[in-house]
């Protein structure tokens, strides 16, 4: 692989001259510039990203800041990352996934002060998110995947949770379900101000009330055991429940396991809808889960495209967009068995 020294030797100039051509930090005659560029082309020399960025005072690196726990990235979260990475590559940027943030603001301040990132996309956003303030104070351009409570001065892309929840509830109500339970994220997640958990909680209440039905939400730890415990709690409060709407991919398999342990069939006895999920996760279950499919890849792509426009556009440029999840009906939802029996009518005289 050719080096800067090889280019300088072939062009018969100093290494510093090659550097000046790359960075534009000093004026170089056109004749000398042409000699250096010709040598680079002949040697197929590829300057590193940092060197290329010096001329524009950019690193050509974008950060995707996503706090992670021991669960790592699931299929649904990965869609956000792959969508963002593909868009960054098209725009000529490298994308770095970093868990910096969360509760460690000092690490975030250090990262922001080093100016290694041209801009960042922030995920797992809380309604009152201190990371936003840290990045704004450091002058780092940012776009949110998610929303804070006050978005007036921010760019964001997010799921339209109101529409998503209303469509999920409407699907179950249309099938005849009247006792529907919503399994959300954990109580601690709700207390932390995590936007999706709070917005879906409120949307579920509004959707159920709009249908004249009683809303019942159960918080669940993000684990299979948490799902089993949540379903047990749901049956204790609503023994007549016929449908479960869940936005907790880790817990949902515990929910399914608890139903099986109680001798209940999906969807004949209890219908299940997984919300904000990926087809890969939905199809792991038997039967495959009816789901409100997450637009994760599109949100990742749109966030990066908005961020790169910010880097090249006016300082007051704003991008604010909501995308709903898409209802994909699979095998886990059907009319409740009691309704099916009630509407089937008496058997015919010939025994059919």
What pLDDT score was predicted for residue 4?
Answer: 81
CA–CA separation, 221 and 224 (whole Å): 8
What pLDDT score was predicted for residue 352?
Answer: 38
What pLDDT score was predicted for residue 209?
Answer: 98
For residue 267, cis peptide bond before it (omega within 30 degrees of 0): yes
For residues 76 and 276, the answer to whether their CB atoms sit within 8 Å is yes
For residues 25 and 54, the answer to whether their CB atoms sit within 8 Å is yes
What pLDDT score was predicted for residue 188?
Answer: 94
Instruction: For the domain made up of 61-159+297-324, give the CATH fold.
Output: Rossmann fold (3.40.50)
What pLDDT score was predicted for residue 344?
Answer: 40
CA dihedral in degrees (231, 277, 155, 116; nearest 10)? 110
Claim: this prediction has a pTM higher than 0.85: no
Residue 243's contacts (CB-CB under 8 Å, 6 or more residues apart) are 172, 175, 177, 179, 180, 181, 270, 271, 272, 273, 333, 336
For residue 287, cis peptide bond before it (omega within 30 degrees of 0): yes
Q: Do domains 61-159+297-324 and 161-294+328-341 have the same CATH topology?
A: yes
Q: How many CB atoms lie within 10 A of CB 146?
A: 22
Q: Where are the domains of the chain?
A: 12-54, 61-159+297-324, 161-294+328-341
Alpha helices by DSSP H, listed for the chain, are 4-11, 15-23, 30-43, 49-54, 75-90, 105-113, 130-137, 161-175, 187-191, 195-210, 224-237, 249-261, 279-282, 296-312, 337-344
pLDDT average per 10 residues of sequence, the chain (352 residues): 85 85 73 88 73 60 82 79 93 88 78 86 94 92 96 95 98 98 96 95 98 98 96 96 95 96 96 96 95 96 95 84 97 82 42 40
Q: Which helix (H) or strand (E) holds 245?
A: strand 243-246
What pLDDT score was predicted for residue 23?
Answer: 62
What pLDDT score was predicted for residue 47?
Answer: 66
**Which of 58, 34, 45 is CA-nearest to residue 7?**
45
Q: Determine how β-strand 290-293 pairs with β-strand 326-328.
A: antiparallel
Measured CA distances, 113 to 56, 107, 211 (Å): 18, 10, 51
What pLDDT score was predicted for residue 343?
Answer: 41
In CATH, the number for domain 161-294+328-341 is 3.40.50.2300
**pLDDT tens, residue by residue, 292-350:** 999 999 999 999 999 999 988 777 789 999 999 999 999 999 999 865 444 444 444 44
What pLDDT score was predicted for residue 177?
Answer: 97
CA–CA separation, 250 and 185 (whole Å): 10
């Amino acid at each position: 692989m050719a080096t800067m020294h090889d280019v300088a030797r072939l062009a018969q100039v100093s290494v510093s001259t090659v550097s000046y051509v790359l960075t534009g930090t000093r004026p170089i005659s056109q004749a000398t510039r042409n000699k250096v560029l010709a040598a680079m082309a002949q040697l197929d020399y590829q300057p590193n990203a940092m060197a290329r960025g010096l001329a524009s005072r950019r690193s050509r690196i974008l950060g995707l800041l996503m706090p992670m726990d021991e669960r790592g990235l699931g299929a649904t979260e990965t869609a956000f990352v792959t969508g963002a990475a593909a868009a960054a590559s098209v725009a000529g940027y490298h994308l770095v996934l970093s868990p910096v943030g969360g509760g460690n603001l000092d690490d975030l301040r250090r990262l922001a002060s080093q100016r290694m990132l041209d801009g960042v996309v922030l995920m797992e956003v809380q309604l009152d998110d201190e990371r936003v303030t840290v990045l704004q104070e450091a002058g780092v351009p940012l776009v949110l995947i998610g929303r804070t409570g006050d978005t007036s001065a921010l760019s964001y892309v997010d799921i339209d949770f109101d529409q998503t929840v209303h469509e999920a509830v409407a699907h179950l109500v249309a099938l005849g379900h009247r006792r529907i339970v919503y399994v959300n994220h954990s109580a601690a997640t709700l207390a932390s101000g995590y936007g999706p958990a709070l917005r879906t909680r409120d949307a579920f209440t509004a959707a159920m009330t709009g249908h004249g039905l009683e809303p019942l939400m159960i918080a669940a730890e993000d684990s299979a055991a948490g799902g089993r415990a949540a379903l047990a709690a749901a049956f204790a409060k609503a023994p007549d429940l016929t449908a479960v709407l869940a936005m907790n991919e880790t817990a949902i398999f515990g929910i399914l396991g608890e139903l099986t342990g109680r001798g209940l069939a999906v969807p004949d006895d209890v219908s299940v809808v997984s919300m904000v999920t990926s087809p890969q996760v939905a199809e792991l279950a038997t039967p495959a889960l009816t789901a409100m499919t997450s637009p994760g890849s599109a949100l990742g792509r749109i966030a990066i495209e908005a961020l790169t426009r910010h880097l090249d556009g006016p300082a007051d440029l704003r991008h604010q967009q909501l995308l709903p999840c898409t209802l994909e009906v699979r095998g886990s939802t059907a009319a409740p068995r009691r309704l099916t029996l009630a509407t089937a009518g008496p058997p015919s005289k010939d025994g059919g």
